[in-house]
């Protein structure tokens, strides 16, 4: 029909501005499309098309597009789509995105009709809305232009938020589609989180242990920019925020940031004088991951990762729920990378149920939604507490009278916490508010349980897809026989645990091991790698 002919003509004309210049296969993985920035121009144009049509297929609801390669090196880039509730893209559209991204320019126009317009009965001339954001990578500017061209080709409203963190894009999309979540502007985000934080941190009696000074490692990325906005918004009597790796000189994620600290289990080398008694906080390149660290009285480096943050959230929010007398279920979701000690602490000491989901926050988020308050974190510092709409309205109503301080505080945590997705700065504010509320030092927090020494290795293989797993990635299914060999090796180690899985974001296989000592964890990790490869 005429409308289809017209659309095909538009796609043909505009795609020629963003031709597919190579035939490297690029798939929509756990973090969207992610690879070298120079391979992505045509993918971005197509993502523009897809995002506009996704919005139109959902009656014009806002859809998000975020251009970033997160913690990966600066020359990489990537893009992911955000669905209307602020959640990750629906799985069928992930598959469609992969298939459309890898077609030739000639095949594309007809495929848009056959794979999107017809099966989803999309009126491509109906209204649509896309929210666009990008990180600070130099390549993100041109790649954003390609997305914009794709959106314009379909004809769809676009709001471009320029340089912004990934979690802000999730918040903006979610609040645009559900106004009870807050005002759908950057200002609205800042005001909601900082307001809750300020109110919690000006309550209660004088603090004797909590030290309101923090040093934030912005990974030389957008996190530094957003953190600066919060520092301007929050009175320095409440918290003193010093930002380092703010992007003024060093390269993005280079020897700094949350991934560097977590993977190397050390502090960024540029922090020349490790100061005692200060909390250091490393964000990643798009500000959705956060890792705490400090130097203890012996000047030893101590790291508090996503598992430590998750347990702190669980302990505090769990306590507030009890004190408020509200009937709300609370649970915690981890991935296989969670430290065994954290799992034991949450289950045995806190008495809060724990479940394990496959790597990737979308799986954790999904599992967390089974609770009224579902806390989930990856060990690498990506996570949040997801409040169900039932819990949000219950807490809000109960807090109105102001009678029970625990209920009021719980309500304020629903403002501080970006419930749509892991958000480094929101998590940081929540951790600080909890430490303040409990009048804890970072040592107090750290002393709750001791991490088992662990090791994470990357192994380069010819074809990582030969390894398949089950049981939330904790057991190898193929190649056959590998799992029993791993079991035999693990059995030799005290507190030993190890697993192997193909990465969803890099062309490597990851091997994880933990054991009673660091030397044993390292040894177990090498032994398991040797068994597999």
Q: How far is the CB of 119 from ligand NG1 (least distance, A)?
A: 29
**504 CB-near residues (< 8 Å, 6+ apart):** 29, 30, 31, 359, 360
380 vs 520, beta carbon nearer ligand NG1: 380
Identify what 20 binds: Zn ion, ligand NG1, none; CB under 5 to 8 Å per kind: none
As a whole number of angstroms, the distance between CA 201 and CA 439 comes to: 10
How many other C-beta atoms can be found within 10 angstroms of the C-beta atom of residue 162?
A: 11
Three state DSSP letters for 351-393: CCCEEECCCCHHHHHHHHCCCCEEEEECCCCCEEEEECHHHHH
Contacts of residue 91, defined as CB under 8 A and 6 or more positions apart, other chains included, come to none
Task: List CB contacts of 296: < 8 A, sequence separation 6 or more.
Answer: 276, 302, 443
Do the Cβ atoms of 390 and 327 come closer than 8 Å?
no
Minimum CB distance to ligand NG1, residue 9 (Å): 38
Window 25-64: contact mask with ligand NG1 (x via CB under 6 A)? -----xx---------------------------------
Q: Tell me the C-alpha distance between 166 and 87, whole Å.
A: 12
What is the SS3 assignment for 123? coil
Q: Name the minimum Å distance from CB 355 to Zn ion.
A: 23
Residue 382 binds to ligand NG1 (criterion: CB under 6 A)? yes
Does the active-site annotation cover 437?
no
Residues 112-131 that bind ligand NG1 (CB under 6 A): none
> From the CB of 66, what's the least distance to Zn ion, in Å?
10
Question: Nearest-5° angle of CA 421, CA 422, CA 427?
Answer: 125
Return the one option of Zn ion, ligand NG1, none that residue 510 interacts with (CB less than 5 to 8 A, by type): ligand NG1
Residue number with CB closer to Zn ion (68 or 342): 68
Q: Is 514 in the site for ligand NG1 (CB under 6 A)?
A: no
Spatial CA neighbour of 495 closest among 511, 472, 518: 518
Closer to ligand NG1 by Cβ: residue 135 or 149: 135
Binding-site string for ligand NG1 from residue 166 to residue 205, where x marks contact by CB under 6 A and - marks none: ----------------------------------------
What, of ligand NG1, Zn ion, none, does residue 337 touch, CB below 5 to 8 Å by kind?
A: ligand NG1
504 binds ligand NG1 (CB under 6 A): yes
Q: Which is nearer to ligand NG1, 15 or 88 (CB)?
A: 88
- Measured between alpha carbons, how far is 431 from 416 in angstroms, rounded to an integer? 10
Using the minimum distance from each CB to ligand NG1, give the nearer residue, 382 or 455.
Answer: 382
Among the residue ranges 103-111, 165-173, 313-321, 374-382, the one whose residues contact ligand NG1 (CB under 6 A):
374-382
Given 311, 339, 420, 505, the residue binding ligand NG1 (CB under 6 A): 505
Beta strands in 100-195 (DSSP E): 129-134, 157-163
CA atoms of 51 and 97, how far apart (whole Å): 10
Cα separation, 15 vs 263, whole angstroms: 40
Q: Would you count residue 499 as binding ligand NG1 (CB under 6 A)? A: no
Instruction: Work out whether strand 129-134 and strand 62-67 pair parallel, antiparallel, or are unpaired.
Output: parallel
User: Shortest Cβ distance from residue 293 to ligand NG1 (Å)?
Assistant: 17
Q: CA-to-CA distance for 38 and 34, rounded, in angstroms?
A: 11
Of 342-350, 377-385, 388-396, 482-490: span binding ligand NG1 (CB under 6 A): 377-385
Q: Which of 51, 55, 57, 70 is catalytic?
A: 70
- Of these, 503, 518, 529, 532, which contacts ligand NG1 (CB under 6 A)? 503
Closest to ligand NG1 by CB, 293 vs 436, is 293
Instruction: Count the neighbouring beta carbons within 10 Å of the beta carbon of residue 456.
Output: 17
Nearer to Zn ion, 29 or 496 (CB): 29
Interface residue with ligand NG1, options 359, 391, 414, 418 (CB under 6 A): 359
Residues that bind Zn ion (CB under 5 A): 70, 284, 286, 288
Per the DSSP assignment, residues forming a β-bridge with 242 are 215
Residue 380 within binding range of ligand NG1, rule CB under 6 A = yes
Widest distance between CA atoms in the chain: 75
56's contact among Zn ion, ligand NG1, none, with CB below 5 to 8 A by partner kind, is none
Per-residue three-class SS string for 456-515:
EEEECCCCHHHCEEECCCCEEEECCCHHHHHHHHHCCCCCCEEEEEECCCCCCEEEEEEC
**Window 318-357: residues binding ligand NG1 (CB under 6 A):** 337
| Residue 246 interacts with, from Zn ion, ligand NG1, none (CB under 5-8 Å by kind) | none
Binding site for ligand NG1 (CB under 6 A): 30-31, 70, 337, 359-360, 378, 380, 382, 503-506, 510
Q: Which residues are catalytic?
A: 70
């Amino acid at each position: 029909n005429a409308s289809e002919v017209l659309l095909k003509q538009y796609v043909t004309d505009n795609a020629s501005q963003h031709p597919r210049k190579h035939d490297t296969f690029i798939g929509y993985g756990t973090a969207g499309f992610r690879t070298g920035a120079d391979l992505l121009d045509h993918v971005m144009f197509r993502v523009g098309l897809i995002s506009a049509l996704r919005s139109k297929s959902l009656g014009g609801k806002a859809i998000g597009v975020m251009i970033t390669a997160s913690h990966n090196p600066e020359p990489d880039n990537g893009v992911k789509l955000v669905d209307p509730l602020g959640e990750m893209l629906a799985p069928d559209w992930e598959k469609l995105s992969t298939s459309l991204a890898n077609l030739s320019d000639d095949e594309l126009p007809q495929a848009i009709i056959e794979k999107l317009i017809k099966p989803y009965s999309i009126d491509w001339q109906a209204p649509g809305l896309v929210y666009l954001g990008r990180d600070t990578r130099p390549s993100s500017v041109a790649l954003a232009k390609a997305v914009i061209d794709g959106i314009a080709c379909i004809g769809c409203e676009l709001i471009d938020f320029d340089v912004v963190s990934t979690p802000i894009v999730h918040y903006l999309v979610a609040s645009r589609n559900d106004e009870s979540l807050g005002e759908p502007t950057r200002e609205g985000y800042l005001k909601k989180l900082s307001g809750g934080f300020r109110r919690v941190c000006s309550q209660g009696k004088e603090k004797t242990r909590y030290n309101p000074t923090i040093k934030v490692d912005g990974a030389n990325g957008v996190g530094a920019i957003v953190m600066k906005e919060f520092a301007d918004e929050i009175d320095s009597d409440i918290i003193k925020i010093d930002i380092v790796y703010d992007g003024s000189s060093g390269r993005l994620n280079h020897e700094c940031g949350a991934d560097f600290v977590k993977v190397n289990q050390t502090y960024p080398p540029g922090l020349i004088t490790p100061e005692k008694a200060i909390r250091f906080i490393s964000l990643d390149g798009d500000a959705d991951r956060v890792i705490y660290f400090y130097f203890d009285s012996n000047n030893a480096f101590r790291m508090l990762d996503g598992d430590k943050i998750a347990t702190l959230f669980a302990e505090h929010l769990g306590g507030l729920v009890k004190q408020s007398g509200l009937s709300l279920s609370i649970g915690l979701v981890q991935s296989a990378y969670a430290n065994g000690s954290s799992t034991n602490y949450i289950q045995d000491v806190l008495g809060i149920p724990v479940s394990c989901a496959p790597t990737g926050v979308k799986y954790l988020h999904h599992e967390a939604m089974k609770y009224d308050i579902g806390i989930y974190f990856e060990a690498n510092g990506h996570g949040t507490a997801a409040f169900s709409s039932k819990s949000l309205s219950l807490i809000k109503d109960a807090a109105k009278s102001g009678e029970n301080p625990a209920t009021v505080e719980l309500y304020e945590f629903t403002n501080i916490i970006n419930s749509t997705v892991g958000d480094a700065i929101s998590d940081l504010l929540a951790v600080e508010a909890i430490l303040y509320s409990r009048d804890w030092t970072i040592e107090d927090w750290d002393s709750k349980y001791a991490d088992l020494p662990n090791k994470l290795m990357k192994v380069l293989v010819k074809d990582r897809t030969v390894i398949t797993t089950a049981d939330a990635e904790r057991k190898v299914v193929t190649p056959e026989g590998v799992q029993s060999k791993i079991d035999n090796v693990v059995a030799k180690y005290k507190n030993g645990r190890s697993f192997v899985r193909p990465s969803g974001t890099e062309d490597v296989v990851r091997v994880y091991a933990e054991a009673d000592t660091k030397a044993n964890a390292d040894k177990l990790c090498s032994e398991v790698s040797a068994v597999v490869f």
